[in-house]
Amino acid sequence: HKVFEFGDKVVTEAMVPRTEIVSIPDDSTVGDALKLVLEEGYSRYPVIKENIDSVTGILYVKDIVKQMAQGKIQNYTPITEIVREAYYIPENKMVTELLDEMQKNKFQIAIVMDEYGGTAGLITLEDIMEEIVGGLQDEFEAMEGETEVEIIDERTSIVAGQTGLDEINELVGSELVSEDFHTIGGFVFGLFRRLPKVGEQVRYHNLRFLILEMEDRKISKVKITRL
C-alpha cells in the first residue's frame, strides 16, 4: 500500500467535498434536526442560510441531547438557539497546521472555503486522524492479508495496527465499534485524541492498549490486555 506522506497534504485532499456535505437549513427546529440525525447518523451538521455557500454555524448533536436532557429546549425550539460558531479555513491550508489549530482552539470541524468565498468542503478531526492512521477503507482492505496477531496468553495479545476491529473483537471477545475508524490502530488513536508515543497506554472499558511501535505517525503495533 502507498506510504502516507502526511506532512505535505493540503486540506482539500482529506476533506468531504461540497457535493457530499449533509447540511441543515438555519430555520429548522430541534425536531427537524433530530429527524435528520436519524436519517444520516452524523454527529455535526453545517447550518446554512440559502445554500451550501452560506454556512452560518455548526450544529452539534451532543448539544441537542444535553440541552433536551436538561429541559432547556423542546422539539419546536429553533436550532439557531444552540448553533455553534463555524470555523472557516482556506483550501490551501496544510493538514498539519489545521490539526495544531484544532488542538489549540478545541474545535473538531472546519468549513473549507474556496478562493471566491464559497464552500469547497468540510474537514473534521476524524478525517485527519483517519489520514494519519493509514488512510481510507480500501487501503485497509488491501492490507488485510498483512495483519499479524500474536497471542501471548489468554489475556494478552500483540496485534498489528492495521488489524480490523472485527478481527480484534473476535480475538479478545470485545465489542469495539467506531463510526470513524476501521482498524485497531485508528481506534486507539481516537482514544488518545493525539499522536501517542511508544510506551504510552490507554484504558477502554476492560481493555488496556499499550503502544509498542509507531511508524510514520501511525500506530503499527499494539499490546492488548484484558483486565
Query: Each residue of 107-142: pLDDT tens digit?
Result: 889 999 998 889 999 999 888 887 766 554 545 554
Predicted local confidence at residue 171, as pLDDT: 82
Strand partners, 27: none
- Provide the pLDDT confidence category of residue 86 given band limits of 50, 70 and 90: very high
Higher-pLDDT residue of 182 and 51 is 51
Segment 58-85 mean pLDDT: 93
- The predicted pLDDT at position 142 comes to 46
Read off the pLDDT of residues 15-52 as tens digits, 9 standing for 90 and up: 999 999 999 999 999 999 999 998 988 889 999 998 99
Confidence at residue 194, expressed as pLDDT on a 0 to 100 scale: 83
Read off the pLDDT of residues 192-216 as tens digits, 9 standing for 90 and up: 888 889 999 999 999 999 999 998 7
* Helices of type H across the chain: 30-40, 61-69, 95-105, 125-132, 137-143, 165-172, 184-192
Mean pLDDT of 156-163: 90
- Residues 164-170 have a mean pLDDT of 87
Q: Alpha-carbon Rg of the chain, whole angstroms?
A: 19
- Is the pLDDT reported for residue 2 higher than 60? no
Q: Is the pLDDT of residue 4 over 60?
A: no
CA distance 105 to 129: 17
From the list 31, 77, 30, 86, the residue with the least C-alpha distance to 56 is 86
Q: What is the arithmetic mean of pLDDT over 77-89?
A: 96
**CA angle 144–150–152, rounded 5-degree value:** 155
Average pLDDT of span 65-76: 92
When the pLDDT of each residue in the chain is averaged and rounded to a whole number, the result is 86
pLDDT of residue 1: 36
Is the Cβ–Cβ distance between 124 and 58 less than 8 Å?
no
Cell of residue 88, nine digits: 472557516
Give all domains of the chain, ordered by start, each with its CATH number: 11-132 (3.10.580.10), 143-226 (3.30.465.10)
Q: What percent of the chain has pLDDT over 70?
A: 89
